[in-house]
């Protein structure tokens, strides 16, 4: 009998504990690596706009999931060593050299963590490949990006594996560093009692921290930016930690503070449960906090779909014309005759066709894109800020059928209905329209806005601004302009027959194939900036629009708007976003399930002695089952309530902060979010029932 | 109060059967303080576990106030443990998360009794055993002797027919042991409590009215105290010395 054989035998005897530890390591690493593989794949990287909200949100949820998995691993490691402590303690007590024992334990743990981290990465890769291919299949009509493994994905996964490895080793070294044999021997029985005297003040301070954290980190920056055009900086995000700390205090209070109070009978009826919970220790609260955060992350991700859908629902209703497109006159674009011919081919009738001309001229404006070092918005007036398109009043009336009365030297902005000013964008900042490339200009005065969705471009500000001016000013500006600066605007309708989609696709294809070189730019392209910056100008990029795939997402300055076709493809364009957020929600909720399930088991294991004691004192099975229910419920109820309510409050606040009100679409989205929340609650209930059954089996209470 | 008749209990390991109790017979009267002594392996703890209904016996009967315990179902057994028996264990079995007062209340908590009754009763018992001043402390904050007196108080909460004590002084120093035995005697005197105690400690046993000595799963002899504790202790030590083949008991 050698020492190694003794170890082997002990390992076999404690197979369940080893398996639990191995599972926890590989599961956590699998979740994170599958997340990373997916996140770093070209399918996601090339789809999510750089610096966009979706990307930021995904990274935020990823950070939560990673924190959750890491805390889970630390917890699982602690649990594993609690099981091992007795064996290690006995060896030490019998005179085994501590350094030898440490080395052997270290080597054994290192082998387990390394092997199961690699297994986790492999499983994560396979899972992400499987899901990635499904994404690709669903979104292929709208998205040409493919799922592929990347070096970054693997590097991130292995880096996380390495972090896990180091963390587990650190926990182990700390554990073996205990000098006292009795400490090690007693580790298995050791509880982590929470503070015995947690007062109501502890709860109130916790709630105050949550509120203060939310106010400082979330509400205040938005309000200050809106009111004072002052960006407070990223430091306010640190106050989210205050929210966490507050939540921790609330949870500690829920576990540790039970008083006889005004309902002593209720207190005594539950006094055994209260006592048991208090001695579950800090680890139960940490677990509850992690579960809460992961529920919030999962819900936040799952809310993305209804939130986006609410923006899509009925979004085409506000278009006055079912088809609109524009192009510079130097382009060999589809003529009216060709359009009619195409319509005839598809048995589609062109209705209410109208066209008009805009002139594209340099205009003044205020550039407000950046913040200075003090966090104040930099607003710089520029004489020649952007090339903007202007239309004369008569042409506008013909095009829209709306009366336009515009005095010389004044203008209206043509906006989408309901457009509001923001910190970056103000109405009426233009006061000069230049006569082509010359230094001569017309002084202009802002009179207000006209609303016409089919004529508005993008957000209607900066390079996308369009102005309604008087006929005389229009003629002055048009004088001597090259054809490339005269923009033809076409609007028409058709009935929504079965062929309109094919007709729209062909028209789109023709429109793209026949565009001129000066049309092939992304929407952010600014000709004046390009001239000023020359080679260094970064937005001098082709639009990469695909003629025969109108569903493919693209960013094109001259993108036409064919309403029937857009309605058909809008969901498809968001498919990758939807799938990614659903995937993230599933990962977070899977982690919630596993952590809760594991925690419930350890509640059972650590409470075994108390259950035996209470049984000996005369409690029957029914009473013990009731007691167990309370214990296991605690793992689920509070995190689910706080997670669901917390996320609901955050979303409601976010929707409200956007524009100070709730739109019809947003209210509909709230309904869908409520349904999703109920699904999460039901999921938690299901896991709770499974956990209860398992733990009751462990304690022979079934 | 307690009648044990022709009690048999064996354990099976593989194909080998070990007979632990072989035709054990004795009775304990109401208000009596009885100890069971004997060397390791004599069957003391198994006997206690059979009476407590923690394990089933093979043959024979255990009657508590005329009621045959082996005929009870699981729910009835739980009721007996809660209402008719009181337990005191070597390792105290107090719930760490509850105060001393709350720990004493547990038997009534399990019985779901009104809180006023339980608080009043618990305070009375704590006072009787001189530990009322630690009512709001937690087990981790008090001494071993105080813990065991708390356990004795707890065992009396539902006015049981019989207190079963398993090595109640096994983890205590002599001063604390004396205090705990004092608590049992106080319960006997004030409440006419009946106690059946398994112990290795001759000193503690010498306070009892009667000591049942066991050997090899049978009752070896029974000794009755004449009222003179010192003489009873000497008598006990002498019997134990003979029992151990001339060696005196470990815990004298």
- What does the pLDDT look like over A613-660, one tens digit per residue? 888 888 888 899 998 998 888 889 999 999 999 899 888 888 887 767
Task: Decide: helix, strand or coil at residue A417.
Answer: coil
Mean pLDDT of all residues in A139-148: 73
Least confident piece of the model among A546-555, A561-570, B1-10: A546-555
Distance of CA A44 to the CA centre of its chain: 13
pLDDT, tens digit (0-9, with 9 covering 90-100), for A221-234: 888 877 776 777 77
Beta-carbon separation of A616 and B81 below 8 A: yes
- Which residues have C-beta within 8 Å of that of residue B194, sequence separation ≥ 6? B1, B2, B28, B29, B30, B31, B32, B33, B161, B162, B163, B188
Task: Decide: helix, strand or coil at residue B236.
Answer: helix
Beta-carbon separation of B110 and A618 below 8 A: yes
Rounded to the nearest 5°, which phi and psi values hold at A606?
-75, -15
Least confident piece of the model among A77-86, A327-336, B136-145, B210-219: A77-86
The secondary structure of B47-90 as a DSSP string is: HHHHHTTSS--SEEEEEETTEEGGG--HHHHHHIIIIIEEEE-T
Taking the C-alpha atoms of residue A660 and residue A654, their distance in angstroms, rounded to an integer, is 10
- Using CB atoms, pick whichever of A265, A269, A274 lies closest to residue B97: A274
- Which residues have C-beta within 8 Å of that of residue A470, sequence separation ≥ 6? A392, A393, A406, A407, A408, A409, A410
Taking the C-alpha atoms of residue A633 and residue A254, their distance in angstroms, rounded to an integer, is 13
Residue B45 contacts residue B164 (beta carbons within 8 Å): no
Mean pLDDT of all residues in B135-163: 90
A186 has a pLDDT exceeding 70: no
B18 has a pLDDT exceeding 90: no
The per-residue pLDDT for A233 is: 73
- Which residues have C-beta within 8 Å of that of residue A440, sequence separation ≥ 6? A434
CA-based nearest distance B231→chain A, Å: 36
Beta-carbon separation of A620 and B78 below 8 A: yes
Q: Which of A81-90, A402-411, A540-549, B81-90 has the highest mean pLDDT?
A: A402-411
Please state, as a whole number, how many other Cβ atoms lie within 10 Å of the Cβ of residue A94.
8
* CA nearest neighbour of A334 among A508, A453, A216, A206: A508
The per-residue pLDDT for B135 is: 92
Beta-carbon separation of B78 and A623 below 8 A: yes
Taking the C-alpha atoms of residue A595 and residue A289, their distance in angstroms, rounded to an integer, is 11
More confident residue, A603 or A128: A128
Query: Average pLDDT, whole number, for chain A?
Result: 86
More confident residue, A2 or A349: A349
The per-residue pLDDT for A86 is: 73
Least confident piece of the model among A327-336, A545-554, A590-599, A629-638: A545-554
Taking the C-alpha atoms of residue A623 and residue B9, their distance in angstroms, rounded to an integer, is 29
pLDDT, tens digit (0-9, with 9 covering 90-100), for B89-134: 888 888 877 889 989 998 888 888 898 888 999 999 999 888 999 9
A106 has a pLDDT exceeding 50: yes
Residue A558 contacts residue A360 (beta carbons within 8 Å): no
User: Predicted confidence band at B252 (pLDDT cuts at 50, 70, 90)?
Assistant: very low
Q: Which residues of B touch A268 (CB under 8 A)?
A: 105, 109, 115, 118
The per-residue pLDDT for A282 is: 67
* CA nearest neighbour of A673 among A355, A311, A302, A412: A302
Residue A618 contacts residue B82 (beta carbons within 8 Å): yes
Question: What percentage of residues in chain A have a pLDDT greater than 90?
Answer: 39
Mean pLDDT of all residues in B133-162: 90
Which 3-state string (H, E, C) describes A127-164?
A: HHHHHHHHHHHHHCCCCCCCCCCCHHHHHHHHHHHHHH
- Using CB atoms, pick whichever of B82, B98, B105 lies closest to residue A618: B82
Measured N-to-C along each axis, helices B174-191 and B144-155 cross at an angle, to the nearest 10 degrees, of 20
Beta-carbon separation of A614 and B110 below 8 A: yes
Answer whether A620 touches B (CB < 8 Å).
yes
User: Predicted confidence band at B62 (pLDDT cuts at 50, 70, 90)?
Assistant: very high
The per-residue pLDDT for A10 is: 77
B198 has a pLDDT exceeding 70: yes
Tokens of residue A691, six digits: 């956990």
Taking the C-alpha atoms of residue B31 and residue B2, their distance in angstroms, rounded to an integer, is 11
B250 has a pLDDT exceeding 50: no
CA-based nearest distance A279→chain B, Å: 6
- Which ipTM did the prediction report? 0.80
Which residue in chain B is spatially nearest to A195 when comparing CA positions? Answer: B97
Which residue in chain B is spatially nearest to A279 when comparing CA positions? Answer: B97
B151 has a pLDDT exceeding 50: yes
Write the DSSP symbol of residue A427: T
Question: What percentage of residues in chain B have a pLDDT greater than 90?
Answer: 46
The per-residue pLDDT for A167 is: 93
Beta-carbon separation of B105 and A278 below 8 A: no
Mean pLDDT of all residues in A242-246: 90
Is the pTM higher than 0.80?
no
Domain B2-89+164-243 fold is Rossmann fold (3.40.50)
Beta-carbon separation of A616 and B96 below 8 A: no
The per-residue pLDDT for A2 is: 63
Residue A608 contacts residue A699 (beta carbons within 8 Å): yes
B245 has a pLDDT exceeding 70: no
- Using CB atoms, pick whichever of A278, A619, A621 lies closest to residue B110: A619
Taking the C-alpha atoms of residue B26 and residue B212, their distance in angstroms, rounded to an integer, is 8
The per-residue pLDDT for A471 is: 95
Taking the C-alpha atoms of residue A570 and residue A547, their distance in angstroms, rounded to an integer, is 17
Q: Which residues of B touch A617 (CB under 8 A)?
A: 81-82, 87, 93, 106-107, 110, 154
The per-residue pLDDT for A50 is: 67
How many CA atoms lie within 13 Å of A511's alpha carbon, on the beta-carbon side? 25
Residue located via tokens 């409470």 = A607
Q: Which residues of A touch B118 (CB under 8 A)?
A: 268
- A·B CB contacts under 8 A: 84
User: To which H or E segment does residue A193 belong?
Assistant: none
CA-based nearest distance A112→chain B, Å: 35
A391 has a pLDDT exceeding 90: yes
Residue located via tokens 């050997």 = B215
- Could you tell me which residues are beta bridge partners of residue A450? A414
Interface test with A, best of B95, B101, B150, B160 (most A CBs within 10 A): B95
User: Predicted confidence band at A327 (pLDDT cuts at 50, 70, 90)?
Assistant: very high
Give the strand order in the sheet containing B162-166. Answer: B85-88, B162-166, B195-198, B33-37, B210-215, B218-224
* CA nearest neighbour of A608 among A486, A518, A492, A696: A696
Interface test with B, best of A270, A618, A623, A627 (most B CBs within 10 A): A618
Residue A598 contacts residue A76 (beta carbons within 8 Å): yes
pLDDT, tens digit (0-9, with 9 covering 90-100), for A328-367: 999 999 999 999 999 999 999 999 999 999 999 999 999 8
Beta-carbon separation of B102 and A271 below 8 A: yes
The per-residue pLDDT for B251 is: 42
User: Predicted confidence band at A553 (pLDDT cuts at 50, 70, 90)?
Assistant: low
A187 has a pLDDT exceeding 90: no
Taking the C-alpha atoms of residue A696 and residue A369, their distance in angstroms, rounded to an integer, is 61
Greatest Cα pair distance in chain A? 106
- Using CB atoms, pick whichever of B54, B96, B98 lies closest to residue A191: B96
Please state, as a whole number, how many other Cβ atoms lie within 10 Å of the Cβ of residue A543.
19
For residue A213, CA distances in Å to A43, A181, A209, A221, A646 come to 36, 44, 6, 12, 13
Tokens of residue B177, six digits: 């042991």
Which residue in chain A is spatially nearest to B98 when comparing CA positions? Answer: A275
Taking the C-alpha atoms of residue B170 and residue B199, their distance in angstroms, rounded to an integer, is 8
CA-based nearest distance A699→chain B, Å: 15
Tokens of residue B162, six digits: 């019989």
The per-residue pLDDT for B35 is: 94
Task: Decide: helix, strand or coil at residue A362.
Answer: strand
The per-residue pLDDT for A142 is: 63
pLDDT, tens digit (0-9, with 9 covering 90-100), for A305-321: 888 877 776 677 789 99
Interface test with A, best of B97, B100, B116, B142 (most A CBs within 10 A): B97
Rounded to the nearest 5°, which phi and psi values hold at A486?
-105, 120
Q: Which of residues 190-209 of A touch B (CB under 8 A)?
A: 191, 193, 196
Taking the C-alpha atoms of residue A641 and residue A118, their distance in angstroms, rounded to an integer, is 36
How wide is the angle at C-alpha B211 spanned by C-alphas B209 and B214, nearest 5°?
Answer: 165
Interface of B with A (CB under 8 A): 52, 54, 74-75, 78-83, 85, 87, 89, 93, 95-98, 102, 105-107, 109-112, 114-115, 118-119, 138, 140, 154, 158
A552 has a pLDDT exceeding 80: no
A19 has a pLDDT exceeding 70: yes
User: Would strands B33-37 and B218-224 be described as parallel, antiparallel, or unpaired?
Assistant: unpaired
Task: Decide: helix, strand or coil at residue A486.
Answer: strand
């Amino acid at each position: 009998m050698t020492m190694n054989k003794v170890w082997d035998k002990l390992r076999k005897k404690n197979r369940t504990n080893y398996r639990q530890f191995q599972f926890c390591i590989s599961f956590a690493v699998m979740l994170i690596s599958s997340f990373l593989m997916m996140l770093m794949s070209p399918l996601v990287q090339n789809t999510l706009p750089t610096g966009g909200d979706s990307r930021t949100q995904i990274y935020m949820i990823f950070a939560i999931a990673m924190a959750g998995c890491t805390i889970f691993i630390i917890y699982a490691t602690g649990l594993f060593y609690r099981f091992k402590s007795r064996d290690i303690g006995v060896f030490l007590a019998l005179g085994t050299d501590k350094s030898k024992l440490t080395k052997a334990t270290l080597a054994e743990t290192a082998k387990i963590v390394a092997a199961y981290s690699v297994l986790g990465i492999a499983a994560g890769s396979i899972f992400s490949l499987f899901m990635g291919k499904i994404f690709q299949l669903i979104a292929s009509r709208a998205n040409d990006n493919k799922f592929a493994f990347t070096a970054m994905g693997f590097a991130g996964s292995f880096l996380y594996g390495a972090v896990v490895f180091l963390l587990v080793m650190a926990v182990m070294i700390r554990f073996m560093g205990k000098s006292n044999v009795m400490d090690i021997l007693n580790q298995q029985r050791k509880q982590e009692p929470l503070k015995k005297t947690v007062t109501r003040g502890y709860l109130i301070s916790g709630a105050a921290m949550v509120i203060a954290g939310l106010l400082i980190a979330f509400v205040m920056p938005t309000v200050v930016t809106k009111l004072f055009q002052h960006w407070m900086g990223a430091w306010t995000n640190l106050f989210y930690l205050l929210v966490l700390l507050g939540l921790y205090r609330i949870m500690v209070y829920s576990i540790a503070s039970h008083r006889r109070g005004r309902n002593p009978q209720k207190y005594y009826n539950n006094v055994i449960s209260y006592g048991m919970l208090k001695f579950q220790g800090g680890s139960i609260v940490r677990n509850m906090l992690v579960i809460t955060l992961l529920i919030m992350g999962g819900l936040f991700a799952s809310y993305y779909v209804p939130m986006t859908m609410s923006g899509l629902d009925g979004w085409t209703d506000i278009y006055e014309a079912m088809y609109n497109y524009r192009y510079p006159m130097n382009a060999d674009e589809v003529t009216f005759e060709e359009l009619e011919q195409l319509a005839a081919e598809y048995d589609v009738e062109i209705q209410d066709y109208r066209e008009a001309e805009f002139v594209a001229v340099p205009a003044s404006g205020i550039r407000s894109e950046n913040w200075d070092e003090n966090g104040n918005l930099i607003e710089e007036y520029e004489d020649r800020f952007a090339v903007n398109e202007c239309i004369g009043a008569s042409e506008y009336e013909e095009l829209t059928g709306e009366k336009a009365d515009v005095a010389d030297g004044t203008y209206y902005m043509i906006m989408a209905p309901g457009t509001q000013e923001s910190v970056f964008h103000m109405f009426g900042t233009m006061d000069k329209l230049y006569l082509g490339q010359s230094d001569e200009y017309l002084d202009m005065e802002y009179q207000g806005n006209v609303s016409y969705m089919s004529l508005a471009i993008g957000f209607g500000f900066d390079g996308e601004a369009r102005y309604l001016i008087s006929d005389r000013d229009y003629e002055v500006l048009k004088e001597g302009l090259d054809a490339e600066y005269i923009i033809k605007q076409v609007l028409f309708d058709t009935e929504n027959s079965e062929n309109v989609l094919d007709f729209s696709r062909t028209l789109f294809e023709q429109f793209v194939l026949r565009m001129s070189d000066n049309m092939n730019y992304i929407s952010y392209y600014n000709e004046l900036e390009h001239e000023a910056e020359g080679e260094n100008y970064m937005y001098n990029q082709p639009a990469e629009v695909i003629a025969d795939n109108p569903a493919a997402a693209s960013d094109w300055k001259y993108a036409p708007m064919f309403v029937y076709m857009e309605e058909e493809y809008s969901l498809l364009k968001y498919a990758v976003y939807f799938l990614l957020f659903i995937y993230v929600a599933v990962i977070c909720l899977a982690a919630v399930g596993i952590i809760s399930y594991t925690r419930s088991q350890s509640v059972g294991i650590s409470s075994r002695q108390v259950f035996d004691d209470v049984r000996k004192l005369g409690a029957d099975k029914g009473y013990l089952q009731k007691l167990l229910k309370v214990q296991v419920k605690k793992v689920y109820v509070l995190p689910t309530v706080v997670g669901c309510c917390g996320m609901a409050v955050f979303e409601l606040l976010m929707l409200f902060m956007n524009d100070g009100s709730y739109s019809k679409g947003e209210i509909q989205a709230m309904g869908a979010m409520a349904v999703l929340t109920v699904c999460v609650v039901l999921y938690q209930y299901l896991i709770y029932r499974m956990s209860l059954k398992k733990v009751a089996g462990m304690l022979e209470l079934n | 109060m307690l009648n044990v008749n022709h009690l048999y209990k064996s354990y099976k390991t593989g194909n080998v059967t070990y007979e632990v109790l072989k035709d054990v017979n004795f009775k304990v009267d109401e208000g009596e303080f009885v100890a069971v002594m004997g060397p390791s392996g004599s069957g003391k703890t198994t006997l206690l576990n059979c009476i407590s209904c923690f394990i089933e016996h093979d043959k024979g009967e255990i009657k508590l106030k005329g009621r045959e315990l082996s005929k009870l179902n699981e729910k009835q057994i739980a009721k007996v443990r809660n209402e008719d028996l009181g337990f005191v264990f070597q390792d105290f079995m107090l719930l760490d998360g509850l105060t001393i007062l709350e720990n004493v209340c547990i038997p009534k908590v399990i019985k779901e009794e009104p809180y006023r009754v339980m608080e009043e009763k618990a305070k009375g018992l704590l006072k009787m055993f001189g530990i009322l001043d630690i009512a709001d402390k937690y087990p981790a904050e008090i001494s071993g002797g105080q813990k065991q007196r708390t356990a004795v108080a707890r065992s009396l909460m539902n006015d049981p027919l019989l207190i079963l004590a398993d090595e109640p002084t096994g983890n205590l120093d002599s001063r604390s042991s004396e205090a705990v035995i004092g608590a049992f005697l106080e319960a006997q005197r004030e409440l006419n409590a009946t106690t059946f105690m398994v112990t290795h400690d001759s000193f503690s046993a010498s306070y009892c009215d009667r000591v049942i000595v066991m050997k090899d799963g049978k009752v070896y002899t029974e000794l009755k105290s004449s009222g003179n504790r010192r003489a009873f202790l000497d008598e006990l030590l002498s019997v134990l010395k003979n029992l151990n083949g001339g060696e005196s008991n470990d815990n004298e």
